[in-house]
DNA sequence: CTCCCTTGTCTAGCGCTGCTAGAATCGTGG
DNA sequence: CCACGATTCTAGCAGCGCTAGACAAGGGAG
């Protein structure tokens, strides 16, 4: 039975290769450049091999998004854990979130902008997505303020960060004053 | 010379028809369904005619976006003008903005999500886009708070609205509590 | 060791996309 | 009424996501 196991290992490795390659290509040249032909060529297999791992391009984007969501959650938790006091914790969280979006634009797009066939804000929402929201909630609940539902506060705070991230990335906001915007946002939204 | 004038009129009318049709098709079935073939068929001309008006699909999206930005600016101004007091003015502005995004999702996408080849936050930014920002600024400056640059405040407020709009539309936020989120956002950000 | 058969991979192709060159047609001024 | 210039159309290119069916490779049985 060792033969079967080896094949399964190889298959899993190839799946990781596909995702890593898709992500790399997307970060280098944007998701539009991630065509099934180019992706197949880079992993040195033919196109149909991709379809033996994923239902289609959208599912590949979705898989990259889930990876990214886990990383985003980790980045947020690490940043928040390294800060003293509620105010600084929230500011650190905000900076970490925006830094992730700036450093991994393609992955951020996969999570929040593109259609990766993922369900959100529902019961069947994949675990990494729920966990990313949880990572925000954990650190934001303490500054939601009296009588304000922590979940609702987290949604609003998250939406604001998302707006800053996307508008900055799309060139809609000049990137120079990002820190000023974070200061303003945290100062106003967080109740310390 | 009346012949030439008539031709120019006809041409301008056809250009409006193209844009109206593109917009209608996008709102009905999404921008993915707006292909040059379908668009040409709907206006009862062949594909190349589109290219005698616009450089390509992206420019059509951009033109729809400019139309939409003007409407968004008008909607914001009307809503704000009809409200009493700074606090209510800002709340009305926020609701009007989100309502526009919800009622014209394809147009909102054209303005802020898709690549319409438009320049933002620069000198050569098209007038309607500058004006839409100005419409926000006009009504938000009074609640920016002491020592806070109105432009910066407007950017942050706008980003928050944009985040709420896009996340709600993409199913990332449950639409039920939109009003609660607006209340929270306005209550915290606006200094009255 | 050889043969068969399953499993996995590839070649080739479908219908679609945005876009364009060159043919054909239309309408106007002489 | 005709010729010419502007306008519009037909037809086609390269590339897209995706898939059917041909083909090859490699393990298990005899």
Give yes or no: residues A82 and A16 share one domain. no
pLDDT in the model for residue B121: 82
CA of B42 vs C1' of D10, distance in Å?
A: 18
Q: What are phi and psi of B16, to 5 degrees?
A: -60, -40
Contacting A residues, span 107-146, partner chain B, CB-CB under 8 Å: 112-113, 119-121
Indicate if B91 and B40 belong to the same structural domain. no
Q: Which nucleotides of C are covered by protein (CB under 7 A)?
A: 7-13, 16-22, 28-29
C-alpha A160/C-alpha B164 separation (Å) is 7
Say yes or no: A160 and A122 in one domain: yes
pLDDT of residue B10: 85
Cβ–Cβ below 8 Å for A152 and B185: no
Structural domain that includes position B173: 59-189
User: Are B169 and B102 a contacting pair, CB within 8 Å?
Assistant: yes
What is the least distance, in Å, from the CA of A166 to any CA of chain B? 8
Rounded, the Å distance between the CA of A52 and C1' of C1 is 35
For chain B, what is the mean pLDDT?
A: 95
Cα gap A85→A42, rounded to integer Å: 47
Pair (A84, A173) in one structural domain: yes
Residue A2 confidence (pLDDT): 65
Task: Decide if B152 touches A, using CB distance below 8 A.
Answer: yes
Residues 6+ apart with CB under 8 A from A173: A164, A167, A181, B120, B121, B155, B159
- pLDDT(A42) > 70: yes
Task: Confirm or reject contact between B82 and chain A (CB < 8 A).
Answer: no
The Cα B145–Cα B25 span in angstroms is 43
- Determine whether the interchain pair B185/A160 forms a contact, defined as Cβ–Cβ distance below 8 Å: yes
A82 plus A120 within the same structural domain:
yes
Contacts of B147 (CB under 8 A, 6+ apart): none
Distance, in angstroms, between A95 CA and closest chain B CA?
15
State which of B13, B28, B53 marks the end of a domain.
B53
What is chain A's mean pLDDT, rounded? 95
Q: Which CATH number covers residue B115?
A: 1.10.357.10
**Nearest chain B Cα distance for residue A59, angstroms:** 17
In a shared domain, residues B7 and B78 = no
CA-based nearest residue to A146, from B161, B188, B87: B188
Q: How far apart are CA A44 and CA B159, in angstroms?
A: 42
State the Cα angle at B64 between A158 and B40, rounded to 5°: 130
- Per the structure, the count of domains in chain A is 2
Exposed/middle/buried for A146, CB within 10 Å: 0-12, 13-18, 19+? Answer: exposed
Reported confidence tier of residue A3, pLDDT bands at 50, 70, 90: low
pLDDT in tens, A61-119: 999 999 999 999 999 999 999 999 999 999 999 999 999 999 999 999 999 999 998 88
| B158 interface with A at CB cutoff 8 Å | yes
- ipTM of the assembly? 0.93
Mutation site for A-interface testing, chosen from B113, B148, B162 by largest number of A Cβ within 10 Å: B162
């Amino acid at each position: 039975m060792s033969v079967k196991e080896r094949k399964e290992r190889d298959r899993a490795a190839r799946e990781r290769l596909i995702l890593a390659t898709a992500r790399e290509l997307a970060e280098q040249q944007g998701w539009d450049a991630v065509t099934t032909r180019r992706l197949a060529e880079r992993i040195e297999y033919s196109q149909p091999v991709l379809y033996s791992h994923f239902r289609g391009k959208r599912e590949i984007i979705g898989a990259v998004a889930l990876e990214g969501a886990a990383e985003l959650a980790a980045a947020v938790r690490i940043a928040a854990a390294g800060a003293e006091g509620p105010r600084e914790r929230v500011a650190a969280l905000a900076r970490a979130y925006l830094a992730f979006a700036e450093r991994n634009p393609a992955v951020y797009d996969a999570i929040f902008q593109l259609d990766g066939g993922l369900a959100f804000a529902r019961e069947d929402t994949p675990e990494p997505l729920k966990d990313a929201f949880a990572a925000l909630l954990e650190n934001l609940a303490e500054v939601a303020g009296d009588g304000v539902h922590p979940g609702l506060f987290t949604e609003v705070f998250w939406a604001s960060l998302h707006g800053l991230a996307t508008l900055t990335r799309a060139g809609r906001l000049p990137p120079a004053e990002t820190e000023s915007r974070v200061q303003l946002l945290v100062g106003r939204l967080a109740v310390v």
